[in-house]
Amino acid sequence: MNHIKLLFFATIRDRAGAKSMELDIPADMTILQLKKKLGEDYPNLKESMTSVLVTINREYAFDEAVVPPNAEIALFPPVSGG
């Protein structure tokens, strides 16, 4: 198992009802699998997981990235300019 810390920002924080949480996940879990797990385990987050921006240890990550041990994962809603 891999222990990680999740950080939630903006509307995702509101939907999660917390600013952070810690989870144990399988060692080879990808970002896509993590987003699916969060959507299933926390129904309030399901809609957000389709367009969320993710960082691993403060660097942007794509769905195919494998979550490293003891990672800090941050989840941000999409940002739009105007």
- Residues forming a β-bridge with 30: 66
Integer Rg of the chain from CA: 12
Which domains, ranges and CATH numbers included, belong to the chain? Answer: 2-61 (3.10.20.30)
Per the confidence metrics, is the pTM higher than 0.85?
A: yes
Contact 15, 21 (CB under 8 A): no
pLDDT digits (tens, 9 = 90+) for 3-43: 999 999 999 999 999 999 999 999 999 999 999 999 999 99
Q: How many CA atoms lie within 13 A of 32 on its CB side?
A: 4
Residue 82 has pLDDT above 90, yes or no: no
* Sheet with 20-25: strands ordered across: 20-25, 2-8, 72-76, 53-56, 59-61
- Tell me which residue of 51, 56, 52 sits closest to 66, measured CA to CA: 56
